[in-house]
Amino acid sequence: MTETQTFISDYRESFGEKAPLPILFYYSDTPAATPEKSNGCMFKLLARAKEGLNVTLDGEHLTCGGGKLYTGFAPQPEYVPAFVSEKEHYKATPQDVTACIAQLDIRPAEKSFLNFVRIDKAETFGNMEGMLFFATPDMLSGLAAWAFFDNNAEDAVSAPFGAGCTSIVSVAVRENRINGKRTFIGLLDPSARLYLDRNELSFVIPACRFRTMKETLRRSCLSGTPAWSRIKARINGQ
């Protein structure tokens, strides 16, 4: 089996057949699919990846200024701090927005395309930035337990507030750059939530952390413990 097939087998054993498969995202010089205009939030397109269709974003076809910024395809537009603070009211002041963005340490993308590919459509983890799960509360319980299995740090599972694309792409890219050990709950941004199921959040495992976590899945509580077995059955409608 390929390395992705091996992981899918372990994942199905842990979460069941009805749990949605995660999505790999990575930058490349060759698109995995033909880029299309997002006409606003990029999450309008990402629903396709959940269904098994490859999705490719680039600076030319992303129409959201924040989306271009947080994926590294464009510098920060001048209007962003005031827009986020004074129109969206997500931060108290424009200065707070500027400081929040600075903490992300966003750098220009080194490749032209950002691809989202469901794991069963990929043969290797290759140069992925991270693995994205669209998860219900029951799924999040298992994913968080898995992340904490070998990591006692309080921020082993983090939920930094930011735009939807920040909580998936920006945080994973930065975590890989510093070879960190955090995983991320995201899509708390009301603007992005408009394009998601009401019972859905995101969970992202950066590539630097996944290298270890893929070896601990079968050793964690997700491997047949009584409590998790009952949750797994609920995830699968049993």
How many domains does one find in the chain?
Answer: 1
pLDDT confidence tier of residue 238, bands split at 50, 70 and 90: confident
Q: Is residue 10 part of a domain?
A: no
pLDDT confidence tier of residue 187, bands split at 50, 70 and 90: very high
Does residue 144 sit in helix, strand or coil? helix
Residue 160, judged by CB atoms within 10 A of its CB (0-12, 13-18, 19+), counts as middle
How far apart, in whole angstroms, are the C-alpha atoms of residue 192 and residue 185? 14
SS3 content of the chain, % helix, strand, coil (to 5): 45, 15, 45
Q: Is residue 8 part of a domain?
A: no
Statement: residue 40 has pLDDT above 90: no
- The confidence score (pLDDT) of residue 39 equals 85
Q: Is residue 9 part of a domain?
A: no
Q: Is residue 115 part of a domain?
A: yes
Q: With contact defined as beta carbons under 8 Å apart, do 12 and 98 qualify?
A: no
Q: Which residues contact 238 (CB under 8 A, 6 or more apart)?
A: none
pLDDT digits (tens, 9 = 90+) for 47-78: 899 999 999 999 999 999 899 999 999 999 89
Domain with 209, as residue range(s), is: 19-235
pLDDT digits (tens, 9 = 90+) for 209-237: 999 999 999 999 999 999 999 999 999 99
Q: Is residue 48 part of a domain?
A: yes
**Helix (H), strand (E) at residue 14:** helix 3-15
Residue 149, judged by CB atoms within 10 A of its CB (0-12, 13-18, 19+), counts as middle
Radius of gyration over every alpha carbon of the chain, rounded to an integer in angstroms: 18
Q: How many percent of the chain have pLDDT more than 70?
A: 100
Q: Is residue 200 part of a domain?
A: yes
In the predicted model, what is the mean pLDDT of the chain? 95
Q: Is residue 14 part of a domain?
A: no
Q: Is residue 163 part of a domain?
A: yes
pTM of the model: 0.95
Q: With contact defined as beta carbons under 8 Å apart, do 67 and 169 qualify?
A: no
How far apart, in whole angstroms, are the C-alpha atoms of residue 149 and residue 152? 8
How far apart, in whole angstroms, are the C-alpha atoms of residue 161 and residue 26? 22
The candidate with the shortest Cα–Cα distance to 200, out of 117, 137, 132, 131, is 137
| Cβ neighbours of 135 (radius 10 Å) | 24
